[in-house]
Amino acid sequence: MKDRLQKIKEEAIAKIQASENLEKLNEIKVAVLGKKGELTEVLKGMKDVAAEDRPAVGQMVNDTRAAIEAKLEEVKEQLSKAVREAKLKSEVIDVTLPAKKNNMGHRHPNTIALEELERIFVGMGYEVVEGPEVEYDYYNFEALNIPANHPAKDEQDTFYINDKIVLRTQTSPVQARVMEKGKLPIRMIAPGRVFRSDEVDATHSPSFHQVEGLVVDKNITFADLKGTLAQFARELFGEQTKVKFRPHHFPFTEPSAEMDVTCFKCGGKGCRMCKDSGWIEILGCGMVHPNVFKMCGIDPEEYTGFAFGVGLERIALLKYEIDDMRLLYENDIRFLKQF
Ligand code: DAH
């Protein structure tokens, strides 16, 4: 019995010592110590050992088992360490390699133009406010002095949600919403998306953006309007820019005008950009109509004001000399990354 145990021990230890990986080690463990293992077989033979010899034999079996287990543990530790080291070696990170460039996006030409406009007006003390894109017919038309059967409604044919609710055709309804609140004086711009049922072409889109402006205070005159918008044009297109006002009609302003700026490409001499006229139209404006004031609960005898509306895409197209509005909406990276 003693020899047999000695033999099992020596053989097991030799095999353990020689095993080159953890799987092999486990196979040896099962073969020697497992349910059907060699050592277990010896234990089963204990019943044939004389009673007085049993304690000594039992002790020997336990010692053998302990020796084998200790060896198993030792080699397992060595093998695991080797595995860890190999893994670390194969996963080395070369921190001196140049980092991968992150493909960072940037602002859309519309956004750049809007931020420029906001910078100019905020610099003059204006507040930036927003209104809803889905708007009551009342604010979009009626409160702006455009009654139900007014022909101006045709020019701004829009998308109706129902009889009372439309997708706003202009940012002007924000004027009425702000005035209605009754906090005076007012100096605000309201940028945002507007909608019209237009076919898409180089200069039209069913959805585009405007920036509305409104100033209401005591003693505001057309001179304030001209001075403010001329300053705006100089900041946007350059110090040498001149402006001119052509009489126009908007239902919510009286008098009303459209403002042109001298062509920033040719300086007014005439070129392709300004269609040889030397001037480029950029916005509509006027003195707030007394009817609009009355509907919004402001006394037109006490307060006056001016308003204007700028097409944001128009500014972006002009500034960057883009000749087709559709390019702004196609999200083609090759186009957008140029700005
Ligand atoms: N809402 C006008 C449009 O969409 C633009 C406009 C003109 C706005 C004159 C104004 C204004 O505030 O005073 O054509």
CB of 173 within 6 A of ligand 1: the answer is no
Which of 121, 170, 203, 220 to probe ligand 1 with, by most ligand atoms within 8 A of CB?
170
Q: Average per-residue pLDDT in the chain? A: 92
Say which amino acid occupies 28: I
pLDDT tens, 274-300?
889 999 999 999 999 999 999 999 999
pLDDT tens, 76-108?
898 899 889 989 988 888 889 998 888 888 899
Residue 170 CA to ligand 1 center (angstroms) comes to: 7
Q: Is the pLDDT of residue 212 over 90?
A: yes
Query: In ligand 1, which atom is closest to the CA atom of 306?
Result: 13
Residue 171 CA to ligand 1 center (angstroms) comes to: 8
Average pLDDT of the segment spanning 3-25: 85
CB of 306 within 6 A of ligand 1: the answer is no
Per-residue model confidence (pLDDT) at position 254: 98
Average pLDDT of the segment spanning 177-182: 97
CB of 307 within 6 A of ligand 1: the answer is yes
Per-residue model confidence (pLDDT) at position 43: 78
CB of 309 within 6 A of ligand 1: the answer is yes
Per-residue model confidence (pLDDT) at position 10: 87
CB of 158 within 6 A of ligand 1: the answer is no
Half-sphere exposure of 322 (CA within 13 A, CB side): 22
Residue 11 CA to ligand 1 center (angstroms) comes to: 99
SS3 of residue 307 by DSSP: strand
Q: How many whole angstroms separate alpha carbon 161 and alpha carbon 191?
A: 22
CB of 284 within 6 A of ligand 1: the answer is yes
Which of 175, 193, 229, 250 to probe ligand 1 with, by most ligand atoms within 8 A of CB?
250
CB of 212 within 6 A of ligand 1: the answer is yes
Q: Of the given ranges (41-50, 176-185, 261-270), which has the lowest mean pLDDT? A: 41-50
Q: Of the given ranges (112-116, 231-235, 310-314, 320-324), which has the lowest mean pLDDT? A: 320-324
Percent of the chain as helix, strand, coil, to the nearest 5: 45, 20, 35
Q: Of the given ranges (11-20, 36-45, 87-96, 229-238), which has the lowest mean pLDDT? A: 36-45
Per-residue model confidence (pLDDT) at position 116: 97
CB of 172 within 6 A of ligand 1: the answer is yes
CB of 174 within 6 A of ligand 1: the answer is no
The 10 Å CB-count burial string (b at 16+, else e) for 138-164 is ebbbbbbbbeeeeeebeebebeeeeee
CA distances from 310 to 6, 78, 260 (A): 100, 77, 12
Average pLDDT of the segment spanning 157-182: 94
Per-residue model confidence (pLDDT) at position 227: 98
Q: How many whole angstroms separate alpha carbon 240 and alpha carbon 35?
A: 98
Per-residue model confidence (pLDDT) at position 186: 98
Per-residue model confidence (pLDDT) at position 8: 86
Q: What is the reported pTM?
A: 0.71
Residue 130 CA to ligand 1 center (angstroms) comes to: 16
Q: Of the given ranges (15-19, 31-35, 43-47), which has the lowest mean pLDDT? A: 43-47
pLDDT greater at residue 177 or residue 158: 177
Residue 260 CA to ligand 1 center (angstroms) comes to: 14
Distance of CA 294 to the CA centre of its chain: 41
Most confident of 11-25, 57-71, 133-147, 154-168: 133-147
- Atom 6 (ligand 1) nearest CA: 309
Contact 213, 287 (CB under 8 A): no
Per-residue model confidence (pLDDT) at position 165: 95
Percent of the chain with pLDDT strictly greater than 90: 57
Q: Is the pLDDT of residue 246 over 90?
A: yes
Contact 117, 308 (CB under 8 A): no
Per-residue model confidence (pLDDT) at position 244: 97
Which of 252, 254, 310 to probe ligand 1 with, by most ligand atoms within 8 A of CB?
252
Q: How many whole angstroms separate alpha carbon 152 and alpha carbon 148?
A: 10
pLDDT tens, 17-28?
888 888 888 888
